[in-house]
Structure 1
Amino acid sequence: MKFLLTSAGVKNNSIHDALVNMLDKPIAKCNALCIPTALYGHPWVGPGINAWNFITGKSDHLVDLGWKSVGVLELTALPSIDEDRWVPLVRETDVLLVAGGDALYLYHWMRQSGLEALLPSLDAVYVGMSAGSMVMAPNIGEYFVGWTPPNGVDEALGLVDFAMFPYLDHELLPGNTMAAAEKWAAGMQVPAYAMDDETAIKVVDGEVEVVSEGNWKLFMP
């Protein structure tokens, strides 16, 4: 897979151009699946209106980019249906659009649903925002642990070898300062990126590239 890991979606031309470059055809010819699951696990954002706004493209910069089609892949429903009803759909899609919310809740349902095992074999471009990006890391760090998984462990997918601190210096999140990011990074065992909404991390064939029109910083362990 190719990964475009964002704080708040495709917020500027540089991130948009990076996405287009990762696709093998124009956005208007790509079929997408959006995954709202992470929203349900976070007390600030779901369930309810925020999930609807994500799915309909009213509150983000992912679903409303002009895809040929957008479907919904709800991970909490997948364990209750046969794999042949959803696995071919995922294998055929061009792009996965993954909402923010609670990263550990998202990871739990990626495992429970079987999507975790499927991801490495997909040809799709994975575009995450906030928790949808953070879940790619080996773990998210104590600062971001909200929903507690059944095993009580801060563990995520580990499909990239770095961690992310999104929404850096966001006006609605006054605690997300560079000083807070530095303290968070000190507890991580992998390289850690603090990134604002104008920044994304592009990963293709293991090569990492920061795409930014804003502010970001890499902390080494």
Structure 2
Amino acid sequence: MKLLLTSGGISNPTIRAALVGLLGKPIEECRALAVPTAKYGHPGCDPESVRRFIAAEYQPPNVMGEAGWKSIGVLELTALPTIGADRWLPWVRETDVLLADGGDATYLGYWLKESGLADQLPSLPDLVWVGMSAGSMALTPRIGSEFFNWTSPGGGEETLGLVDFSIFPHLDYPDWPDNSLDAARRWATTIPGPAYAIDDQTAISVVNGKVDVHSEGHWELLNPTVP
């Protein structure tokens, strides 16, 4: 699986070019499945925010669903255990990209495991995962207490660990003063490993363990020497 981990989605030409590079063909030729699951775990989200994501009504344009896909469907992870992998796995295998929305990262991580999708992802080398905010954080080893909203049955703020770094999203977001660089650096002291603070104009791609940053904004690598 190829990863494009973002804070604000496909928000500028640099990130869009990185996505096209991962896909290996134009966006207009690619099928996408939107994954809204993380929304349901966050207290700041509601049914309207889920609808806006599915209907591609985010602003500015071309953030996720508005990128110009050949087709776009919905993959709701909480439904998958009730219908069986023989139905939903072909949907995933036939798509080019999964678009994972923001919300709560621990909730998304939990349902990635419970649905069985997490077990399948390593066997899908050509599939591209585009995460936005929690949709990116769910693939990291842990998120830190600052982003811990939903408690899984096992407790804790650990997530899937498909990459070896953590992410502090929405760096310097105008309406969120707690997302300053100083706050990110304090957060990083609680993270036992490397971490990136990224703004909404930045994305991190991961392919076969190779990590690249694609940005028209502001980002910082924190804890780079932590083993």
Q: TM-score if structure 1 supplies the norm length?
A: 0.97
Deviations along 1:78-110, one digit per CA (max 9) or x if unpaired, are: 111121110111011100000000000001111
| 2:45 aligned with 1:42 | no
Matches within 5 A, 1:55-66: 55-59=54-58, 61-66=63-68
Give the superposed CA RMSD.
0.9
**Alignment-mate amino acid for residue 65 of structure 2:** V
| 2:104 aligned with 1:105 | no
- Number of equivalent positions: 220
1:139 counterpart residue number: 142
Deviations along 1:134-188, one digit per CA (max 9) or x if unpaired, are: 0111111111111011111222111110000000010121110111100110111
- Candidates 89, 95, 98, aligned match of 1:96: 98
- Candidates 209, 214, 223, aligned match of 1:211: 214
The 1-side partners of 2:193 and 2:217 are apart by 23
The 1-side partners of 2:13 and 2:159 are apart by 30
The 2-side partners of 1:219 and 1:8 are apart by 20
- Candidates 68, 71, 77, aligned match of 1:69: 71
Q: CA deviation at 1:12?
A: 0.6
Matches within 5 A, 1:70-219: 70-122=72-124, 123-219=126-222
**Alignment-mate amino acid for residue 29 of structure 1:** E
| Secondary structure at 1:214 match in 2 | coil
| Secondary structure at 1:172 match in 2 | coil
**Alignment-mate amino acid for residue 133 of structure 1:** S
**Alignment-mate amino acid for residue 158 of structure 1:** G
The 2-side partners of 1:121 and 1:171 are apart by 40
The 2-side partners of 1:22 and 1:79 are apart by 29
| 2:26 aligned with 1:23 | no
| Secondary structure at 2:211 match in 1 | strand
Deviations along 1:52-103, one digit per CA (max 9) or x if unpaired, are: 0001110161111010100100001111112111011101110000000000
The 2-side partners of 1:10 and 1:154 are apart by 26
**Alignment-mate amino acid for residue 161 of structure 1:** D
Q: TM-score if structure 2 supplies the norm length?
A: 0.95
Q: CA deviation at 1:24?
A: 2.0
| Secondary structure at 1:154 match in 2 | coil
Q: Which runs of 5+ in 1 are unaligned?
A: none
